Amino acid sequence: MTDQELFGIFDQGGLLSSNLDSFEFREGQLLMARDVLECYRQNGIGAIEAGTGIGKSFAYLVPALFYAFEDKSDRTVIATSTINLQKQLMDKDLPALFRTLGKDCPVAIAVGRNNYLCLRRLAEEVKANELYAYDGVSDISLLNSFAAETESGLRTDYRGRLDFQVWSSVCSDSDFCMGGKCPYFTDCFYFKAKKKLSEASVIICNHHLLFVDSNTRFENSIDYSDDAILPPFRHLVIDEAHNMERHATDLFTSTYSAYSLRRQMDFLYDNRGIRGLGTGRMLEELRPFCNDEQLYNEILDFFALVRAKAETLNMATLNLLEYNKLAHLLVTKANVGRIVAEVGGAAGDVVENGGRLVARLERFASLLKLEENQMFRAEEFLVHVSRISDILDRLKTFMDWEHWDEDIHYLDIEKHGANRYVTFNIAPLEVSDILADALFRKLDSVICTSATLDLHDDFTYWSSGVGLPIEGRPYLRKVYPSPFDYRNRLMLLTPFDTPTFSREKEAEYADFTCETVYDAVSSSGGGALVLFTSFRLLEYVYEKLKPRFSVMGLSTLKQGDNDRYALLEQFKEDEDSVLFATDSFWEGVDAPGNTLRMVIITKLPFRMPDDPIYKARYSKLEEDGKSGFYCLSLPDATMRLKQGYGRLMRHTTDKGIVLILDSRIISKSYGALMLRSLPESYHPETETKSLGQKIESFLF
C-alpha cells in the first residue's frame, strides 16, 4: 500500500468522505494511519495516543486490510479490552470499510475455548442424567435443546442462567478433547470456529486471549508462524493498550482459594448434587468399575476431610484479616512469620490431606476396569485430579516462604454469593520482561494505541510497564489530540475550598460530598456520572441522595445493582438519570449526547496504599532509590484521571462539565502535572458556593 493510496482513502474528498455520510476528515486520523502503515513496512513497534474522536479504529484497520488484500496469509490480530469495541469493529467498522473499499477479506472474532459447547460432553451428561435430560426445565435439558438450535454453540448465545458447574461439565476443554477421534468432530462448534479463524485475515480477540496465546508460545517455544491458541499471525494491534500491564499481571497471577479447590473437587464428588446433573458426579459413575470398596470409602472420607480443612484455613485467614480490619494483605518476609504462625498449620493440613486424597484418586483411576470406548472417562477423571493437585501446589508454593523470589505474595478476599473466601495469590513483580520476550521481540509489527498512553513523559511510564522500547527495533511514539472543541464545549471546575479527606474527619468529608454532589446534579438536571474511588463512600452518598433525587424526578443507578452493560443501557435511555460508580466505570463508558452532561470526580484516583500489587511495586521503586510517588503513584492516578475525564466528550456536538471535588488538583504542585495531561478546557476559578450558578450558565 502506498502513501498515495492511503491519502486517497482518508483525505478530504477521499473514499471515506465520499461514501460515508457520517465521516468527517480528521488530520490526526490520516497521520495515525500513515504511522501504522510505516510500522508495518519497517517491522516496527508503535505507541500512539489517539484522543477521543480521532477515529483510531479506521486508522489501524485500513493498513491491516490492505496487507490482507495483498497476501491472505499476512494476518493481523487486533486485541481489545472490551466486548463493546470488539462488536463495534465486527458489526460496524469492518463492514463499512469493506463497502467503501469495494473489496473484503475473511474476518473473525476469537474467544476462549471454554466459551463453546462440547457436543460429546453434553451427550455424556444427557446419558448419565436421563431423568433430568428430558424434563424440559432442567439445565441439562435446556442445554440439549440449545445445542439443536444454535449455530455458534457459544455460551453468550444461551438465553438463561447457568450454574458454573453445569457449563464446566459440557464446555469445550483442551484437556478433554478427543480431536479427530471424537464422534462429534464434524459438528464441533469449537473446531468450526477454529477453521474460520484459520481462514481469517483479520482476527479480533480480547487482551486475555492474546496473552494466553503469547504465553503458550513462549513457554512451549512455538513461533508465531505456527498454530497455538490463535492461528499464525505476523502483525498485532493492541487497542485500549493502557490496560496491558494490568491484564498481563492478572493472567500471570497464581491463585489458591477454598472456593477454587472445592469447585474442582465437586466435579469428582458432590453429595449435594447439582440441578440437572444428578448426584455423586464422576466418582460415583466410575465406582462400579473399581473393585476396591475400601479405597472408595477412604476417598469419601478424604473428600470430607479436605473440605473441612480447607474451610478451617479459610475461616482462620478471614479472622486474621478481619481482626486487623484488612480486605487484603501484602505478605512479605517481614510479616510472613506472623502469617505462618496464625494459619501455617491449617494450610499444611490442607496440603497434606489434599495430597493423600490425590494419591488415592490416582490409585482409584489405575484400578478401573473399563472397555476401550470408556477409557476417556478415566482420562477426564484424571484431568480433574491433576487440577486439584495444581491448586494444592499453589498453596504449598505460597507457604514455602523460605524459597520466595521477587514475586508479589498477597492475601485477598473474594465473594461468591453470600460466602467470602480468602485467596492466596502470587503475582509477578513486573510483566515487562514477559511481554518483551513473548510479544514485542517475536512479531513483525506491533501497534499499541489508546486515548490515554502519554503523560507528557514521552510514553515513559506506560512503556516501562509493558517492556518497551526493544533494543534494535524501531519504536514510534506519537500523540494525536482529540479534534473536539474542549475549550468551548467542556468546562472544568476545581473548587479550591473542597476539604481534604482524612480518617479523623471522614464523616464531615462524606457529608460535604453528599451536599456538593446534590447541588451540582440539581443544577445540571441530572445526566451525571458520579465517580468514586471508594465503594464505601459511594454507598453512603447514594443512600443519602437517592430519596432526594427521587423527589426531583431523577432516577438513580448504582454500580453493583445490575451488570455493567445493563446499567449503562439504563443510563443512556434516561438522559436525566444519575449513575454512581467506581472502578471499571472510570473507563469504557460511552454515552454521547445530552444523556451525559456532567462527570463528577469525587476524589483523585490514587490507588489505595494497601493495594498489594501497587504496594509491592511502590516499595521496590523506593528500594531502588526512586520515588514511588512520582514513578508509580502519580502517573497511575493521572492515567486514570484522563480516562475518567474522557467519559464526557464522545461526539463533536457534546457539551458538558467535569467537576473535580479534590482541591489537591490545584493546591498541590503535582496537581499541575495532572492538569497538563488533560485536554485544554475552559477552566474558571471557582469555589463550592458558586458551582450551581456556573453549571447552569454553561449548560443552559
Q: Over the stretch 176-187, which tens digit does the pLDDT of each residue have?
A: 898 998 999 999
Residue partners of 272: CB distance under 8 A and separation at least 6: 279
The pLDDT value given to residue 544: 96
In one-letter notation, the amino acid at residue 456 is: H
Q: What is the DSSP string of 500-522?
A: PP-GGGHHHHHHHHHHHHHHHHH
Strand order in the sheet with 235-238: 107-109, 202-206, 76-80, 235-238, 445-450, 45-50, 475-480
Cα torsion through 368, 373, 377, 379, rounded to 10: 80
Q: What is the DSSP string of 220-249?
A: HT--TTS-SSSPP-SEEEESSGGGHHHHHH
3-state secondary structure 297-341: HHHHHHHHHHHHHHHHHHHHHHHHHHHCCCCEEEECCCCHHHHHH
Distance in Å from the first CA to the final CA of the chain: 49
Neighbours of 684 (CB within 10 A): 11
- The cell 495516543 sits on which residue? 49
Neighbours of 133 (CB within 10 A): 20
Q: Over the stretch 74-124, which tens digit does the pLDDT of each residue have?
A: 899 999 998 888 989 999 999 999 999 999 999 999 999 999 999 999 998
C-beta of residue 189 within 8 angstroms of C-beta of residue 117: yes
Neighbours of 311 (CB within 10 A): 15
Q: Does residue 485 register a pLDDT over 80?
A: yes
Q: What is the DSSP string of 553-593?
A: T--EEETTSS-HHHHHHHHHHSTT-EEEEEGGGGSS----S
Cα separation, 374 vs 385, whole angstroms: 18
- The cell 463453546 sits on which residue? 116
Neighbours of 19 (CB within 10 A): 15
For 378-383, the CB contacts below 8 A with 24+ separation are 378/286, 379/176, 380/175, 380/176, 380/282, 381/268, 381/282, 381/283, 381/286, 383/173, 383/175, 383/176
Cα separation, 471 vs 45, whole angstroms: 11
From the list 18, 202, 188, 67, the residue with the least C-alpha distance to 118 is 188
**How are beta strands 107-109 and 202-206 bridged, if at all?**
parallel
Cell of 33: 494511519
Cα separation, 615 vs 313, whole angstroms: 25
Q: Which residues pair with 414 in a beta bridge?
A: 421
Cα separation, 131 vs 73, whole angstroms: 50
With cut-offs at 50, 70 and 90, classify the pLDDT of residue 516.
Answer: very high
Q: What is the DSSP string of 52-94?
A: TTS-HHHHHHHHHHHHHHH-TT--EEEEES-HHHHHHIIIIIH
From the list 136, 129, 151, 111, the residue with the least C-alpha distance to 276 is 129
Q: Over the stretch 244-290, which tens digit does the pLDDT of each residue have?
A: 999 999 999 999 999 999 999 998 987 554 444 544 578 988 999 99
C-beta of residue 248 within 8 angstroms of C-beta of residue 421: no
Q: Does residue 202 register a pLDDT over 50?
A: yes
The pLDDT value given to residue 276: 46
Cα separation, 372 vs 360, whole angstroms: 23
35-44, 211-220, 521-530, 581-590: segment of lowest average pLDDT: 581-590
Q: Over the stretch 146-160, which tens digit does the pLDDT of each residue have?
A: 999 999 999 989 988
- Side-chain-facing half-sphere of 669: CA atoms under 13 Å: 2
**How are beta strands 107-109 and 254-257 bridged, if at all?**
unpaired
Q: What is the mean pLDDT of the chain?
A: 92
Strand order in the sheet with 490-493: 490-493, 656-660, 598-601, 528-532, 578-582, 556-558
Strand order in the sheet with 408-416: 254-257, 419-427, 408-416, 328-331
26-40, 472-486, 563-577: segment of lowest average pLDDT: 563-577
Cell of 614: 501497587
From the list 494, 430, 496, the residue with the least C-alpha distance to 467 is 430
Maximum Cα–Cα distance across the chain = 84
Cα separation, 73 vs 56, whole angstroms: 24
Cα separation, 127 vs 285, whole angstroms: 11
Average pLDDT over residues 664-688: 94
Q: Over the stretch 359-372, which tens digit does the pLDDT of each residue have?
A: 999 999 999 998 87
Q: Does residue 439 register a pLDDT over 70?
A: yes
Q: Does residue 481 register a pLDDT over 70?
A: yes
Neighbours of 579 (CB within 10 A): 26
The domains located in the chain, with CATH, are 3-106+200-249+430-480 (3.40.50.300), 113-192 (no CATH), 253-266+280-427 (1.20.120), 486-699 (3.40.50.300)
pTM to 2 decimal places: 0.91
Q: What is the DSSP letter of 597?
A: -
C-beta of residue 632 within 8 angstroms of C-beta of residue 564: no
Cα separation, 660 vs 641, whole angstroms: 10
Cα torsion through 425, 426, 429, 434, rounded to 10: -120
Q: Over the stretch 381-432, which tens digit does the pLDDT of each residue have?
A: 999 999 999 999 999 999 999 999 999 999 999 998 889 999 999 999 999 9
Q: Does residue 650 register a pLDDT over 90?
A: no
The pLDDT value given to residue 590: 81
Neighbours of 651 (CB within 10 A): 12
167-176, 231-240, 448-457: segment of lowest average pLDDT: 167-176
Cα separation, 232 vs 225, whole angstroms: 5
Helix (H/G/I), strand (E/B), else coil: 684: coil
C-beta of residue 411 within 8 angstroms of C-beta of residue 423: yes
Helix (H/G/I), strand (E/B), else coil: 6: helix
Cα separation, 95 vs 106, whole angstroms: 11
The pLDDT value given to residue 279: 44
